[in-house]
Amino acid sequence: MKTIDKYLFQALDNYPYSLEETIESLDYAFSYDSKNTMVLCLYGRIQAEQLMNYEEAKSYFQEALAINIHALEVYPYYLQTLIVNGDYEEAQKLIDFALTIKGINKAMIFVKKAVLLEVQHKFKDALKEIKQAKLYSIQHDYDSGISEVEKRIKDKIDLLEKKKPKEKKKKSKKKSK
């Protein structure tokens, strides 16, 4: 095992529970190989998930993909960052491209597509993508994550449907006055 792998594993093992140790291990790994896509991806995750510095996170993810377009580990985190940052058009383009990459977890990418549609309040379309995610899922562990996203989207649909009858009742009362 290479020294960089040792430090990368330490960083992954420590994240997100010990950020100081994560950064220390990442810095060591980066000093051994500044073009390691896993290292760059974890730096991006820290920027996005811990510091909410989405533009900086995007630059780490972009750098990793510039080094290796097949760095499969980058896509889910980069997509999440784009979605949270409101870069919907860019996220859609990345999803479309990611689905063409051999070996990528298509179920995960379809879930990200569903989340993208969810934040745009296109809930019915989001549920269609959840169906695709289920069809491509081959990991039992990931099925529960898909179900959680599906439940959240359905809850939002229910929330909107429950709100509509109340609005109709208010309008009916106003008309009768």
Per-domain residue ranges of the chain: 1-104, 107-177
- Cα dihedral 18/80/138/8 (nearest 10): -30
User: Regarding predicted confidence, which is higher, 43 or 165?
Assistant: 43
Closest CA to 88 of 125, 47, 63, 51: 125
Token pair recorded at residue 135: 């069809």
The whole model's pTM is what? Answer: 0.89
Residues 79-106: pLDDT tens digits? Answer: 999 999 999 999 999 999 999 999 999 9
User: Regarding predicted confidence, which is higher, 135 or 165?
Assistant: 135
- Please give the single-letter amino acid code of residue 20: E
Contacts (Cβ under 8 Å, ≥6 apart) of 65: 37, 71, 74, 78
Give 49's Cβ-side CA count (13 Å radius).
15
CATH of domain 1-104: 1.25.40.10
Q: Give the whole-angstrom CA distance, residue 155 versus residue 153.
A: 5
